[in-house]
Structure 1
Amino acid sequence: MISPTRDIKTKTGTNAGMSQTSGGCLQNLLDNIENITDQVLPLIIVTTVLDVALNTSKISESADSKELVTVGNSVIKASEKLISSLVKPTDTSDSVSFTLDTVEVQVFMIGPKFTSDQIPQLDTKNASMDIDLVGIAKSNYGTTAVAFMSYNSMENLLKPDFFNTSDDTVKTMMSTVISATLPKTTNTKLIKPVNFTLKHIREFDPSGSLSCVYWNISEWIVDGCTVLETTSSYTVCSCVHLSTFALIMQTSSPSDGDSLLDLLYLVCVIVGLVFFSLALLTFALCQWSPGVNNVARINICISLLLAHLLFLLTQQFLSLIRRHQMLCAVISGVLHFLFLSAFVWMFIEAVLLFICVKNLSQISSKKREVLSSGFLCVIGYTVALVVVDVSAGLVPEGYGSEYCWIKRDKGFIWSFLGPVCVILALNTILFISIFIILSSTLKNLNAEVSQMKQTKTMVFKTLAQFVVLGCSWIPGFFTNDSKELEIIFLFLNSQQGTFIFLVYCVLNKEVWQQYRRCFRCLCCGLKPNNKSVQKKC
């Protein structure tokens, strides 16, 4: 009677190599668990054996479907058998619950002298269950028990791809895998359907189709389960039987148009990164006049260069990064900070440009330094840092979406969109003001050929400021149903570095003069840092 228990103790007690158990040892362990009859085991033994069984059930990602299904079925069967050993006779009611890294378990038992008509809701971190246990007990001589388990990594074995549908869709596991059983109960027929509330563990896609499914030997099926209610954060499922359940979302497979859009994004971002780098190199190497303040432009380039580069690398290695939720959340927080700081610097640049145009009769790269560079740096990065800190403090789970970006749950996306909307509105107003002041100034110029050429250059530089100041992000709010707007937004969004390089480097006389001097000296084989030699050149 106690030999299976003793055997299990031997396999799990002090064997340090158990965490590296091979498939054969795992199967032996599961077989021994199957040999447990109706005995009641101490909680410490059950938790120890269950933890070992679940930890040693991890197999390589290259395993085929048959192997995954076999191990998954064995683990579920052994887990339910182990949990049933916690059920013991009671006159009124009793409960047992525990939490491991791999699973959360709750067991509730009632006896013939149980008088309450209500059963406490069985809750885990990511799921809950409502069941009419009193009705079931009436058909079992007043005695029954329910076991509720929420697995944290079972989806690696019972993959969502095992949900066979006729449509060619992408299937995503939206909840933890849960299991509900009636251990040591003769008549397991449900009097009323049981309801499960499953918390979404990944970002909800409104265009996706949700299905409440249960595991049937080798596949996920929907028979007997329906979706009662769904929100962006949870779904309520109703089932007429108990089993192992999950929530699977189906989304359309990426179309050729989406693939082309991804390729366009990749090319545009890489081109933008090149021009961000060229602009930063120019700002660093050129000797600027004392009155020129490039601090905002330099920091716009730095912030957007790092943000676009990090986001690009994240998307390229998304499948690897998604396995580490903490890393994904940290990346989304860093992206939040970098993009916000870029927008703050765009606002600072808009203010400095407005002051420049307001005080001078024509556009010039020379302007008085209104604020010190150090003070501007404090503003540029502190504002973004405060927003991110407050956001993370209020909703720490808001970071780490399916694409390692900000989650849309609970309106958390507005921690980014809110500041961006305010800055874009202010920058648009400043841009319009700058354009009106500039137009008034240009009317006073004589229509000479040289001045007309200068006027065209100034008009182009002014229009390019629309992109430099971030106003080109506005179409992003209206791209939901328009591929054309999405392409325009994608191009302008990724080319801010290109416009910064054109406006402040290519079309800047000071830069070209230094370029010509350097080129002449290099062609002559002379060192450009020698002033006398430079003059000779």
Structure 2
Amino acid sequence: MGPGKELLTLGLLYMAGICFSCQLGFNKIGSKCFDVNECEYITESCGNNAECFNTNGSYYCQCKHGFKNHKETVNFTAANGQCLDDNECLDSVNICGLGGNCSNRIGSYECICQFGYTNRANNSREPCIDINECNEAERNGEDLCGAGGTCKNIAGSYRCRCPKGYTNYGNNRTRCSKLACDSFNADSGPAPSLGGLADILVMMRNSCLALSNPSPSGEVKADGEALLEKLFTATVAILTPGHLDSSEDVSELLGTVENAIMLIGPQLKHNRTKIDTTETDAEIAVQRGQTRPTGQIHLTNENAALDTDWTTAAGTGSYPGFAMAALLSYKNLEISVNQSFEELIGRENDTAVPSSLHVTSKVVSVVVSNPSTQNLSSPIKFTLRHLQDRKESPEVKYICAYWSERGTWSTDGCYHQCSNATHTVCTSEHLSSFAVLMALYPMKHTFGLKLVSMIGLIISLLCLILCILTFKFCRSIQGTRTTIHLHLCICLFLADLVFLAGISQTTPKGGCRFVAALLHYFFLGVFTWMLLEGVQLYRMVVLVFNATIRPLYLFLTGYGTPLAILIISGIIRPQGYGTDEHCWLSLEHGLIWSFFGPVCLIIIINVFFFIVTVWRLAQKFTSLNPDFSKLHKIKAFTVTAIAQMCILGLMWVFGAFMFEEGPVAVVYIFTILNSLQGALVFIMHCLLSKQVREEYAHFLSCICTPQKKRYSDFSSTNPSSSQSQGSRSGQHTGESQI
């Protein structure tokens, strides 16, 4: 009921009193006046936040607890007052005590206690008082400060004082943990062989001793960020490529850095800390509290990512009041650890032995505060980026491995989950330093590939035999160039024969090395004789007289040069001949360049000779009196020599990729070119030569013509026809006279 209605009602009561001679606030009943209870008639006269009190002939209002009349009077009526909320938080100083914060409510207030304080009798309107955590823990049988720690109550909290040899890493509410400063003492074990590692050990030992010997006040000054920066600055010089010479050095460094992070992590002030140097990239996560933390952990950097949970990081043993997880990535360490694969050879896919293993990711270390890291309650998952993008295939497999205490790569308890061209996901049941290894398996040659190779090589050998017989007994083409072709075909024939019979005969090892040496020698001989052909063409065009090369010089160059290269290579690196997959030169330590180096040099020199030859031929064709017959022959010789160089050179371009574990298509191309090069030489130098074709025709006619007819033809030949035949023969031998 609003104020207007209240006045109207009072007015009516007043008029009633006048009419019946009763005073205001009274009502006449019969001949008597009785008091009117305004609180019953006027139910909302005082509002919702006040109480109505009836008096003789009137009434008054009083505000409820937590409200105050805005007219500052205790008793009032609807006409001269209204109850508003009373803000007790402003009216009373320290109404909630030193450890509480007052929060006003409509008609009341609430004391919100700070950490370490509580309300009396759990009444939110009572002041907050300090909680004696030490007494509470003792009554409940809890040990707040751990073994050897002393609990001291302070306002709103408590402090743990640790004895010598223990520390709470400068966090007063953290349980005391025993320190193992001897782990940073080089004198207690083998002296570190790695230069600079002793300085790190001294630095970490001094920090550990400072934590284990607190000041008389019990305060420990811990600066984890500064110590972490000093640690990684000191490791930069050690991690520079070339300084880690042995697996023992790598193990010492990895173990020292992991122990140092275990000591530094609890001293960090922030929950997440990242640090990046030229050699390392680290992220550390820390959680503190009286209860074990829960939830997922995700740490990441440019080359790796770690996924685990706080339950795994904290462990199931005694909880020290904090949990830590760290992911450390080494930016160049894969160069130093690309070794020690003895434990893996023969263990991966027992039926297949990888031809080579190498590290194909950055090396990362995972560190947690859990002391039982060799048998985690749940596996951790980490993702590593490949150094080079390459998909898995039958010839390529990615292996998740860890660096063991023995200084070798191992896969025990470390499992491969999945891979794509750029990343590999691994899981591990223990913690260590991890990396992804790429295993290259020998390509399994299909039956079709072997059949193509065998048929092609047999055809090539037959064609080379025809070439050798042609160049040896065809008198019309004899000359320096034919001699070169003859010995080129001999070397190619022997190379193909050895290739067909022994390229895959990898046992015994001595026999495989002999096969590899023969292939090295004969294939180099092929290219050496091809170089001599280029030199001969150059001399034929440039020199007018004495364009031939003496046979002695040809033999010394054609067979002596490959022999010299073979002897030098065998002396320098004899173990490089023969591999586990092929009886060929090893791709390790650069021995393969004892073949590809001379081949590339010969091709470059021949290209120069051919360019000069073509240029001089063009000049001679435009001269005043050119000998067209001679020039056309040289032109034909040059074209076939260039085609021959392209065929042989192109074959070894694909051969280089094949022995590098190239794609299957490259292997087929190499096999086809290698198998048919003898046939191509026969076509170029024999079937495309008019003189050779005539010799073949004459030879076949002699075989196919009956003996009687040949005798009659011979007896009827007159002197003039003999002279004519001799004249043609002289014309044919003109090629050898060039």
RCO (CA 8 Å, sep 6+): is it higher in 1 or 2? 1
Structure label with greater radius of gyration: 2
Q: Which has the higher helix share?
A: 1
Determine which structure has the larger strand proportion and give its number.
2
